[in-house]
Structures are given as structure tokens and as C-alpha cells.
Amino acid sequence: MKIEYINPFIQAAEDTFKAMCSVDVERDGELTVRKAGLSPAYGLIGVIGLSGSVKGAVLMTMDVGTGRKVIMKFLGETMITEADLFDGFGELLNIISGAAAAKLGKVHLAIPAVMTGENQKIHSVQCSPWVIIPMRFPEWGKFNLEVAMEEV
């Protein structure tokens, strides 16, 4: 996977959280690569497929507690429902992926899916390995963006 595919996602995450949640995000360490196969996942897990001039998927994961803070800020409300949490998390992933995709060519986004659980496993069947981008909200904690993509 080309490294040029990564920067648009970092930029899109910064822009999206800044505009929609008035919060800054920063990188939290080096990029790592996860080979195809099973890997552990926990907390909130959102995934969205991309097709068109590139194909692949984008994944965002964070603790449920961090996610609640993010969605409270997104909605501008101090009380949020479980439905708000899932819906808001998926929509933020949709916005980040769309903003990044606009820089990658003619790309179509699928509908995001969001799940949660303590002992999830993500089974990657992508030919392309996942690149994990560790990021954090300075006050709320870590999150990961993970991108698997290849040219068509």
C-alpha cells in the first residue's frame, strides 16, 4: 500500500474532529502494519468500505468512554443515548473517510457499520495489509485509524 494514501486520512481526522467536535487530535506514535489474519479489537469499532479508483476499507477504534466524550461534543449534548453513540461514531468515520477519499480519486463510500464488544476479533482478508495510525485526543485518550487499500 502506498504511503501517500495515509496522509489524507490523518488530515481528514484532524479537520473532522476540529470542525464537528471543536477538538484537536494528534499523532500518537509510529505507523504500524498488521498482516492479514485475526487481530484483537475492543471498544467501539467502526468500519467503512471504499471502492472506485482505489479499493479497501477504513477502520476506527476507540474506548467506549472516549467515544462517549467525542459524541457528546459532536452533538453538543451532555446526555447521549446508546443509539447516538453508535450513529455519531459511524457518521464521524463516514466524514473522515469521505474527506480523505476526495483526495484519492473517484472513490465511492459504502455505508459505515459500527459494533462494540470486549473481545472482538477483526479478520482481515484484504490482500493489502492494514496500516494502523495511532492517534489521540489530548484530553480524552487514544484512538486508532486503520487503513487497508490498494489501487484498482
Partner 1 sequence: MKVLLTDDSSTMRKIQKRVLASMGIEDVLEASNGKEALDLIGQHKFDFVLLDVNMPEMNGMETLKAIRSNPDTVKLPVIMCTSVADKGQVMEAIKAGATNYLVKPFQPADLQKKIEATFGK
- Residues forming contacts to partner 1 in the complex (CB under 8 A) are 15-16, 18-20, 71, 74-76, 83-84, 87-88, 90-91, 94-95, 97-99, 101-103, 105-109, 111
In the complex, minimum distance from the CB of residue 38 to partner 1, in angstroms, rounded to a whole number: 28
Tell me the C-alpha distance between 26 and 22, whole Å.
Answer: 14
In the complex, minimum distance from the CB of residue 68 to partner 1, in angstroms, rounded to a whole number: 13
Tell me the C-alpha distance between 93 and 62, whole Å.
Answer: 12
In the complex, minimum distance from the CB of residue 125 to partner 1, in angstroms, rounded to a whole number: 23
In the complex, minimum distance from the CB of residue 16 to partner 1, in angstroms, rounded to a whole number: 4
Shorter beta-carbon distance to partner 1: residue 26 or 77: 77
CA angle 20, 83, 59 (to 5 degrees): 60
Shorter beta-carbon distance to partner 1: residue 59 or 107: 107
CA angle 28, 32, 33 (to 5 degrees): 155
Instruction: Name the residue type at position 151.
Output: E
Shorter beta-carbon distance to partner 1: residue 31 or 110: 110
Shorter beta-carbon distance to partner 1: residue 54 or 124: 54
In the complex, minimum distance from the CB of residue 84 to partner 1, in angstroms, rounded to a whole number: 5
Report CA 53 to chain centroid distance, whole Å.
20
Shorter beta-carbon distance to partner 1: residue 43 or 90: 90
Tell me the C-alpha distance between 129 and 2, whole Å.
Answer: 11
Task: Give the distance between the most distant pair of CA atoms in the chain.
Answer: 44
